[in-house]
Structure 1
Amino acid sequence: ITKDSYAKELFDNGTISVAKALPDFEKDGWSLYSNIHGKAMRKYHELHIQLLEWLYEKTGNEIFKEYAERWKRSLNNVR
């Protein structure tokens, strides 16, 4: 998207931070709205999945794919 090396460094560092924080934003296979609030509403959960898929597409980091797939499966378990 950009040839700016500083922008790339910021993006790379940001995605590393997101990957490390993912376990703190999941409960029972569902994404959290924030790390101090409860589970996200379905609409936000679906958005989180889309964002993880985008991050996987851009970075190739398997952790984003793994969480996206797990959270997609959880959509089928909702009453």
Structure 2
Amino acid sequence: AQRLGQKAPVAEGLAVYGPAPAPLAMLRGRHRFRLLLHAPRSFDLQGTIRTWVGSIDWPTKARLAIDIDPYSFV
């Protein structure tokens, strides 16, 4: 989560909040964090996320789930 936060994209109109522990910070022995990205509808958010996530050297056991327009943060 820290790597993701440190390499967060910087662009006009894009706000990145986090990383912060998820409400269920540990689930099934795994630590969980969340980040929130906020941008106008005209912003290419999916392309930015694709480039951002692809630029990080992930540990073998790391898992990443991306929820576009989440219904809930719980």
**Do they superpose with TM above 0.5?**
no
What is the TM-score with the length of structure 1 in the denominator?
0.31
Larger radius of gyration: 1
Q: Which has the higher strand share?
A: 2
**Which has the higher relative contact order, 1 or 2, with Cα contacts under 8 A spaced 6 or more apart?**
2
What is the TM-score with the length of structure 2 in the denominator?
0.33
Q: Which has the higher helix share?
A: 1
